[in-house]
Structures are given as C-alpha cells and as structure tokens.
C-alpha cells in the first residue's frame, strides 16, 4: 500500500513539475516546418514535400498572429538541404495563448480535416493532464484521444514536451506541432482491402530559426513577390504595389467563385495604389494583376471586420 502511495505521489509531483515548466511557444519568428507525404506500404519514399515558414505579425480581432507561409519543395528521396519548388504563399495565421498553454490558428487554405476555414480554431492544447481526453479539431473524433503520458524529450533535435496518446504512435509536441505536421490532421489511416496505398503526412524536419540550413536558401525577399498587398488581413483599405509590373492594365479583387468584386485601372508610370474595401464582406479573396486578360501575379487577401 505504501509503495502505491509513493508511486502516486511521485507521479503527481512529476506532473506538477511538467505543468510548471515555462510554456514553449509555437508561433516563433523564423520557424520552418518541413512536411512530407509518403506511402506507408513502401520503405518510406517521399511522394510530396512542402514547407511552412513563420514570418511577420498581423492583428486579427485584437489578437496578434504570426503569419504562416507555405511553399512546395522539390520532391527527393535524399535528406536536406531541400530546394524550393515555387514561391511562398500566405497560408494562414497562428498565435499562442501562453497563459492558457494553447495554440490557435486561422487557415485560409482548406485541408482535408475537421478544422474550419477562415475562422479561428483551437489548434493544439498543452494544458491537458494525463488521463484527459484531447479535444481539438486536428484530432478526428472517431477514436479516443486520451493522454497517457507527458514527458520532456527531444524530437527532431528540439527540446520539447511530448504529449502521447493511447494510440502509442500518435504524439504532439509543445512548440512544434505533431508527428503529422503543423496544420495537418493527426490521423493514421488503417489499411483495408480496398485501400492499397496508405498515404500519411509526417513532420519530416524542423528548424526554429532563419536562415535554416535544411533549405537551399532563396533570398528571403523572394517569398513575397514585388506585387505586395497590405495590410493582410485588412478591414478597410488595401495598399498595393505593382513593383516593376507597370505595364499591367488592372488590379482585380476576386472572390473564391471567380467573381470580380473590385477593379482598379492602373495608370502608366504609377505603381502604388489604395483600394477601399469597407463595403466588401469579410472572407478570403484573390488579388490579381491583369494584363490583356492574362494573370501576371496573384496574392491571397483576407478581409476582416
């Protein structure tokens, strides 16, 4: 009996110590997440590869968020450094609630998950204790998500706290994300007779600073083309700079159905403009530079209220 009480006391003390540790934020300037898609029936080949990159702050509904950019990487079976396969595009926003030990996100590109698009959702919860059931949308609700252990550890070279579930191969990590990525659903498919390929995402590498030696660097300025729309998100006015694209004819704002919402006819010799969007409904839009009905450049724009 005394032994059981001692074990319980040690366990409780350990949990208290872990919960008392300083919170490790996820929304860190310059952080990189490299995620792969692979077929579990094969010896871990990489079928797809992409990167998330945190840079810059923005205010949405009085909260400060870190902007998250995404770009595809050249698919390779070799390790880093990886090469970009396209420019960075704004993907979403994340913020830490350090007091509540939680991470919140807004996603403007929809993944196959139960999380909403274009509105804030609880991304990760690090306030839970052993025995608690985890409730956030990156976890599908068709299996139990009970925390079986919380421990300090090193994952992908980063010292963190590991939140393990009763599904022993599924964990998530304070300051990083999960085994499956950052925005990716925490889900491991089960093989059936009708499903030969088991494609799974995985957090492949992680770098908490820039420049990051996991990547063949392109100039950081290249992640946002010369066509720059700001602030993004915005609630009243959009300022845009056409850069060197002074031969373009128009700036057009489309909704996701491809309908034209606003248009500005560009003037020769000018490259800085302001567009009033106070009468545009909140949501995700696409800003385009057009020349002779050809899209020269594009950027996603979020309008808030």
Mean pLDDT of 87-105: 93
Please spell the DSSP secondary structure of the chain, one letter per residue. -HHHHHHHHHHHHHHHHHHHSPP--S--TT-EEEEEEEETTTTS-EEEEEEEEEEEEEEETTEEEEEEEEEEB---SS-SSB-BSS--EEEEEEEEETTTTEEEEEESS--SSSS-SSSEEEEEE----TTPBP--TTS-TTS--BEEEEEEEEETTEEEEEEEESSTT-EEETTTEETTBSSS-------BTTB---EEEEEEEEE-SSS-TTB----GGGGS-S-EEESSSBSSEEEEE-TT-TT--EEEEE-TTS-EEEEEE--TT--EEEEE-TTSPSEEEEEEEEETTEEEEEEEEEE--
What is the structure's pLDDT at 154? 95
Domain definitions of the chain by residue range = 2-207, 226-303
- Over residues 108-156, the pLDDT tens digits come to 866 556 788 878 999 999 999 999 999 999 988 776 689 999 999 999 9
Q: pTM score > 0.85 for this model? A: no
pLDDT at 18 over 70: no
Architecture category of domain 226-303 in CATH: Sandwich (2.60)
What is the structure's pLDDT at 116? 87
Confidence band, pLDDT 50/70/90 cuts, at residue 244:
low
What is the structure's pLDDT at 103? 98
pLDDT at 232 over 90: no
pLDDT at 36 over 60: yes
Confidence band, pLDDT 50/70/90 cuts, at residue 221:
very low
């Amino acid at each position: 009996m005394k032994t059981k009480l001692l074990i319980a006391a040690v366990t409780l003390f350990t949990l208290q110590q872990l919960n008392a540790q300083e919170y490790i934020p996820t929304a860190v300037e310059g952080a990189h997440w490299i995620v792969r898609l692979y077929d579990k029936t094969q010896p871990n080949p990489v079928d797809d590869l992409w990167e998330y990159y945190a840079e810059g702050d923005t205010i949405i509904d009085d909260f400060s968020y870190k902007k998250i950019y995404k770009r595809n990487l050249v698919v390779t079976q070799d390790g880093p450094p990886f090469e970009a396969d396209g420019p960075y595009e704004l993907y979403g926003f994340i913020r830490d609630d350090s007091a509540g030990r939680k991470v919140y996100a807004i996603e403007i590109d929809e993944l196959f998950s139960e999380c909403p698009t274009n509105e804030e959702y609880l991304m990760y919860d690090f306030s839970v204790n052993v025995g608690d059931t985890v409730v956030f949308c990156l976890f599908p609700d068709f299996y139990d998500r009970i925390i079986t252990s919380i421990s300090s550890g090193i994952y992908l070279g980063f010292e963190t706290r590991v939140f393990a579930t009763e599904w022993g191969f599924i964990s998530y990590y304070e300051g990083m994300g999960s085994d499956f990525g950052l925005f990716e659903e925490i889900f491991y498919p089960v093989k059936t007779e009708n499903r030969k390929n088991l494609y799974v995402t995985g957090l492949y590498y992680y770098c908490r600073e820039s420049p990051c030696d996991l990547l063949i660097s392109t100039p950081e300025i290249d992640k946002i083309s010369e066509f720059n729309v700001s602030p993004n998100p915005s609630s009243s006015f959009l300022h845009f700079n056409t850069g060197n694209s002074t031969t373009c004819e128009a700036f057009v704002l489309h909704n996701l159905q491809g309908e034209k919402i606003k248009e500005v006819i560009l003037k020769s010799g000018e490259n800085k403009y302001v567009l009033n969007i106070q009468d545009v409904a909140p949501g995700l839009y696409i800003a385009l530079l057009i020349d002779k009905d050809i899209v020269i450049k594009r950027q996603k724009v979020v309008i808030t209220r």
